[in-house]
Amino acid sequence: MTEPSEDDRRALLALAEDLADVARKATLTHFRSADLTADSKETARFDPVTVADRAAEAAMRSLITARRPQDAILGEEMGATPGTSGLTWVLDPIDGTRGYLSGTPTWGVLIALSNPTGPILGIIDQPYIGERFLGGFGQARLDGPHGRRPLLTRPARPLAEAILFTTFPEVGTADEGAAFHALASQVRLARYGMDCYAYALVALGQVDLVVEAGLQPYDIQAPIAVIEAAGGVVTDWHGGPAHQGGRVLAAANRDIHAAALAVLSRAP
């Protein structure tokens, strides 16, 4: 497919922001409500889904169908809908449903627009805080309670000075966990359980690294677009593409990416 024209880019950006707006409304309706409950999508472990997950994805899908019926959709809760344009909207209505259930404001809505090579536009939206991180089409910005500011990842520094985020030990195998801990032992500070907000902090220049495993495309495509637009690097644990999920290494710059990759690439 050809690259979107300037007019198409403006329309796609506007739609992406409108998707984030409707998801904000749907998720905030239920956040921290006393009667919020969750079903589990798995039996072996608690993998929650709530009425808010389903409502947010349904609202976004409805808007895409009305404005861009030619585009495909891939969503966490409602699966794949084919399209003809070569573009796919990749949606995670609540990334961090465990955090959402717990009342913490570190979950987010993930919206990516992808072509066959990967994401070209992404939004990480935190509705309760009111922060929206956007990257793609020549833009890298945060809109929030304190106004608008550009996104720019932090410059290189040694692993021994780095801040690392992850959802381990909640996800990943024992071997993957061991690889993570080998890296964590070399950094200054490791923090846990921030879900998509950790990737936003890489784009903002606050955090050096995020390491995860067992991801799906809808977990990572929006963060890839935002972080790369801000100057960072996102790959798998061998330096290859990460937009299909699996093992992911997000880094603020190429130097610290290379240092972390040297540790993680030894994982079985």
Query: In the prediction, which pLDDT does 215 show?
Result: 95
Please state the φ and ψ torsions of residue 237, each to the nearest 5 degrees.
Answer: -80, 5
CA distance 132 to 156: 25
Go through the domains of the chain in sequence order and give each one's CATH number.
Answer: 6-150 (3.30.540.10), 159-264 (3.40.190.80)
- Between CA 14 and CA 249 the distance in angstroms is 30
Q: What pLDDT does 227 receive?
A: 99
Tell me how far apart the alpha carbons of residues 51 and 46 are, in angstroms, rounded to a whole number.
Answer: 16
pLDDT score, position 2? 61
Q: Mean pLDDT of residues grouped by 10 in the chain (268 residues)?
A: 83 98 97 87 77 97 98 97 97 95 95 97 98 98 98 98 88 87 96 95 98 96 98 98 97 98 92
Give the pTM: 0.95
